[in-house]
């Protein structure tokens, strides 16, 4: 059986990948995360604590496990934190990818690496894999640099770009667009929502499935894996409110300019996912279907 190693297995995508792999049962799984294992399920895989910014630790975990495939989900993902903690951002989002690429080269593995729609400037979305990146902020620059790292090594590599991941994890430690909108309005908090940014939100399960299809099929190159629809963020929040029958008067439309964010967000991204559909058989759910799936998971968890 082939061995697959996941970095950042405590994260939103990391957890979904582990659970998907456990269901499939066709890989020997090594889950790695910084610190303790926070997945509820502890059986069916091996857990190894791994800080990917420690190049000695990365080399020794690869030496011990010799993975056939590695999916790197670990990253500093908070855009504003990346702007204020540039060194730490570069260390995790770029240098650590070099450590993984070096180890991948040594052990002849296949490195599947996660990137973002933010590599684009948002002037001409939705984007295909061949479109020209033009990052607008430090997080985006670091992710584009990480993509270029892979091409400097003699390895099998795949880049997975994705957009606004939504879903729930075992410890519910992280929020995302759907949970934020739902929880805020349910708690009668007014939320400011931008009316001039367009995105294709991605159900975490769909993204996990796409990453695993790449690993199974050993497909190399760049893949866009997002949800199938592109909407304005304000409309996405209205759709969440509609689904849960929430009071929309708590939603306050604003423009991006009024937010005065240090890191300027691209106005319109969104992906063309034809290549992923064709080559991988990737078939993501609509946003409304995704919200429904999430709702069932929340109900399950609260039992």
Ligand X SMILES: NC(=O)c1ccc[n+]([C@@H]2O[C@H](COP(=O)([O-])OP(=O)(O)OC[C@H]3O[C@@H](n4cnc5c(N)ncnc54)[C@H](OP(=O)(O)O)[C@@H]3O)[C@@H](O)[C@H]2O)c1
Number of residues that bind ligand X (CB under 6 A): 25
Q: What is the 3-state secondary structure (H, E, C) of 71-105?
A: EECCCCCCHHHHHHCHHHHHHHHHHHHHHHHHHHH
Sole binder of ligand X in the list 94, 155, 165, 168 (CB under 6 A): 165
CB of 165 to ligand X, least distance (A): 4
Instruction: Tell me whether residue 64 or residue 248 sits nearer to ligand X (CB atom).
Output: 64
The SS3 assignment for 199 reads strand
CB of 188 to ligand X, least distance (A): 26
Instruction: Tell me whether residue 47 or residue 190 sits nearer to ligand X (CB atom).
Output: 47
- Position with the least CB separation from ligand X: 11
Helical segments of the chain, H only: 12-24, 55-65, 79-84, 86-90, 96-107, 138-151, 177-186, 204-217, 233-244, 274-280, 287-301
CB of 108 to ligand X, least distance (A): 23
DSSP β-bridge partners for residue 45 = none
224: left (phi over 0), alpha (psi -120 to 50) or beta: beta
Near ligand X in 167-186, by CB under 6 A: 174
> Of 285, 138, 110, 292, which is closest to residue 212 (Cα–Cα)?
110
Alpha carbon distance 181, 248 (integer Å): 10
Instruction: Tell me whether residue 201 or residue 247 sits nearer to ligand X (CB atom).
Output: 201
What is the phi/psi pair of residue 254, to 5°? Answer: -135, 170
Alpha carbon distance 227, 204 (integer Å): 10
Question: C-alpha 165: how far from its chain's center?
Answer: 6
Interacting span for ligand X (CB under 6 A) from 18-26, 158-166, 239-247, 286-294: 158-166
Instruction: Tell me whether residue 77 or residue 109 sits nearer to ligand X (CB atom).
Output: 77
Sole binder of ligand X in the list 4, 5, 11, 61 (CB under 6 A): 11
CB of 160 to ligand X, least distance (A): 8
Near ligand X in 21-80, by CB under 6 A: 33-35, 51-53, 73-75, 77
Near ligand X in 100-139, by CB under 6 A: 114, 116
CB of 249 to ligand X, least distance (A): 27
Instruction: Tell me whether residue 171 or residue 274 sits nearer to ligand X (CB atom).
Output: 171
Q: Which residue matches tokens 């995302």? A: 176
The SS3 assignment for 203 reads strand
Near ligand X in 217-246, by CB under 6 A: none
Instruction: Tell me whether residue 174 or residue 249 sits nearer to ligand X (CB atom).
Output: 174
What is the binding site for ligand X (CB under 6 A)? 7-8, 10-14, 33-35, 51-53, 73-75, 77, 92, 114, 116, 162-165, 174
């Amino acid at each position: 059986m082939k061995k697959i190693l996941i970095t950042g297995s405590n994260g939103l995508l990391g957890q979904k990948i582990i659970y998907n792999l456990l269901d499939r049962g066709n890989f020997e799984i090594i889950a790695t995360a910084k610190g303790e294992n926070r997945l509820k399920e502890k059986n069916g895989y091996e857990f190894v604590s791994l800080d990917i910014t420690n190049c000695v630790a990365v080399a020794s975990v690869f030496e011990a496990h010799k993975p056939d495939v590695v999916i790197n989900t670990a990253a500093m993902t908070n855009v504003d934190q990346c702007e204020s903690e540039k060194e730490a951002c570069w260390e995790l989002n770029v240098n650590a990818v070099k450590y993984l690429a070096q180890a991948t080269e040594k052990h002849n593995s296949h490195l599947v690496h996660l990137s973002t729609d933010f590599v684009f400037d948002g002037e001409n979305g939705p984007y295909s894999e061949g479109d020209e990146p033009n990052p607008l902020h430090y997080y985006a620059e670091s992710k584009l640099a990480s993509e270029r790292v892979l091409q400097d090594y003699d390895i099998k590599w795949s880049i997975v770009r994705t957009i606004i991941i939504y879903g729930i994890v075992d410890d519910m430690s992280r929020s995302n667009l759907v949970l934020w909108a739902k929880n805020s309005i349910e708690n009668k908090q007014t939320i400011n929502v931008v009316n001039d940014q367009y995105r294709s939100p991605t159900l975490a399960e769909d993204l996990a499935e796409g990453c695993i299809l790449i690993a199974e099929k050993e497909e190399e190159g760049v893949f866009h894996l997002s949800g199938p629809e592109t909407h304005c963020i304000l409309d996405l929040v209205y759709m969440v409110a509609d689904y849960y029958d929430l009071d929309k008067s708590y939603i306050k439309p604003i423009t991006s300019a009024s937010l005065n964010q240090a890191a300027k967000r691209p106005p319109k991204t969104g992906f063309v996912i034809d290549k992923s559909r064709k080559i991988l058989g990737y078939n993501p759910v609509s946003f409304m279907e995704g919200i429904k799936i999430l709702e069932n998971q929340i109900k399950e968890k609260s039992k």
